[in-house]
Amino acid sequence: MLRIPFEDLYAALHRAMRQLGLSEDRAAHCARLFAETTRDGIYTHGLNRFPRFSETVRNGSVDVNAEPTKTAGLGAIERWDGHRGVGNLNAHASMERAIALATQNGIGAVALANTNHWMRGGTYGWQAADQGLFAICWTNTLANLPVWGATTPTLGNNPIVIAIPRLRGHVVLDMAMSQFSYGSLSAYSKRGQHLPVDGGFDSAGNLTKDATAIEASQRALPIGYWKGSGLSLVLDMMAAILSGGLSTHEIPLDPLRESGISQIFIAIDPRSLSTAEAINRIADGILQSLRDATPVDPAKPIRYPGEQTLQLREENLRLGVPVDPEIWRQISDPSRA
């Protein structure tokens, strides 16, 4: 891997976004979201995702000029249509609107239909937490996860994000309904490494740590077995029903044409109920109890969700952001982007 200064990464992505047809302000914003995702160590959904994003723009699945519009609303909840625009821009705008509603009402929710892949879901949890708000958001996806007891993909891995603001470092949980996202499976497969725990089934129906075998069978393992399967189902139902958009079984199965997905963004302003001091005291106490637990391996201290992100962010800003050499060559050369 190469290490590239963050601003160089951002500049290359900005130029590439302009070449894809995004207007100046939207290109700058989209590039910043991609670059920050890579900076924070979520490489599968940052720069490494850019070639796939480019292809969805070129094949017409993503409309770079489309912006979300409000279609309905009552009180603290609203329904918006993303018009198949750029997924991370639609998601960022939706969370910002949920934050505005929460600031007015204590809680705010936006149900977004007809959008595209939001890239790193955790982005929108950090977005709310940085403004002092709790966040819950999720998305449905194309069918890439077998319902428990079946062999064919029926559910989406439907990532969910839960964020808690905290002065000494936000807690941000960002997880898919599969034990490993397909981006993670691809990364392990590319490195020729086995997964640390079983992540799915091989073609013979056996649980395996072989990421390549799981990619071939398309039988990723739901988190918690049948529990993750059930959670994936209800997240899809809520997203599709509240947004009036597509559910997983209606989304195109081709990953390069995955479009029209449904998402939910909820923000909660805890300051309507408590003081910042009380919020931090409770959060710090909970995390201290976590750290007091006896680790299995003393060399690996207990971490809370989001802690490694902060560590990688600092390291990558100081040393340079790790990038795939081939993708970097493509994006840093204007003639190849």
Q: Strand 261-268 to strand 107-115: parallel, antiparallel, or no bridges (unpaired)?
A: antiparallel
Q: Which of 14, 29, 45, 117 is catalytic?
A: 45
For 205, the 3-state DSSP assignment is coil
Contact, 268 vs 76, CB < 8 A? no
Exposed, middle or buried: residue 232 (CB in 10 Å: 0-12, 13-18, 19+)?
A: buried
Q: Which residue has the higher pLDDT, 6 or 1?
A: 6
Predicted pLDDT at 95: 99
pLDDT digits (tens, 9 = 90+) for 159-184: 999 999 999 999 999 999 999 988 88
Residue 139 gets the label, from left (phi > 0), alpha (psi -120 to 50) or beta, of: beta
Which pair of tokens denotes residue 114? 């007809």
Reported confidence tier of residue 190, pLDDT bands at 50, 70, 90? confident
Reported confidence tier of residue 335, pLDDT bands at 50, 70, 90? low
Reported confidence tier of residue 334, pLDDT bands at 50, 70, 90? low
For tokens 């009036």, name the residue.
Answer: 244
Measured between alpha carbons, how far is 139 from 79 in angstroms, rounded to an integer? Answer: 14
Predicted pLDDT at 261: 98
Contact, 41 vs 309, CB < 8 A? yes
Exposed, middle or buried: residue 215 (CB in 10 Å: 0-12, 13-18, 19+)?
A: middle
Which pair of tokens denotes residue 69? 């519009």
Average pLDDT estimate for 303-331: 96
pLDDT above 60 for 327 = yes
Of 69-83, 265-279, 322-336, the range with the lowest mean pLDDT is 322-336
Rounded to 5 degrees, what are φ and ψ at 283? -60, -45
pLDDT above 50 for 40 = yes
pLDDT digits (tens, 9 = 90+) for 236-292: 999 999 999 999 999 999 999 999 999 999 999 999 899 989 999 999 999 999 999
For 83, the 3-state DSSP assignment is coil
Residue 132 gets the label, from left (phi > 0), alpha (psi -120 to 50) or beta, of: left
* CB-CB neighbours of 23 under 10 Å: 12
Q: Alpha helices, DSSP H only, in the chain?
A: 6-19, 24-39, 50-58, 87-105, 122-129, 182-191, 211-217, 226-243, 276-291, 307-319, 325-332
Reported confidence tier of residue 74, pLDDT bands at 50, 70, 90? very high
Which pair of tokens denotes residue 68? 């979300």
HSE-up of residue 227 (Cα within 13 Å, Cβ side): 3
pLDDT digits (tens, 9 = 90+) for 92-135: 999 999 999 999 999 999 999 999 999 999 999 999 999 999 99
| Helices 122-129, 24-39: crossing angle, 10 deg rounding | 100
DSSP 249-305: GGS-SSGGG--SEEEEEEEE-GGGTS-HHHHHHHHHHHHHHHHTSPPSSTTS----T
Provide the mean pLDDT of the chain. Answer: 95
Q: Strand 160-164 to strand 153-155: parallel, antiparallel, or no bridges (unpaired)?
A: unpaired
Predicted pLDDT at 337: 47
For 12, the 3-state DSSP assignment is helix
For tokens 């939001």, name the residue.
Answer: 118
Amino acid (one-letter) located at 69: T
Active site residue 45: yes
Question: pTM for the whole thing?
Answer: 0.95
Contact, 229 vs 155, CB < 8 A? yes
pLDDT digits (tens, 9 = 90+) for 131-144: 999 999 999 999 99
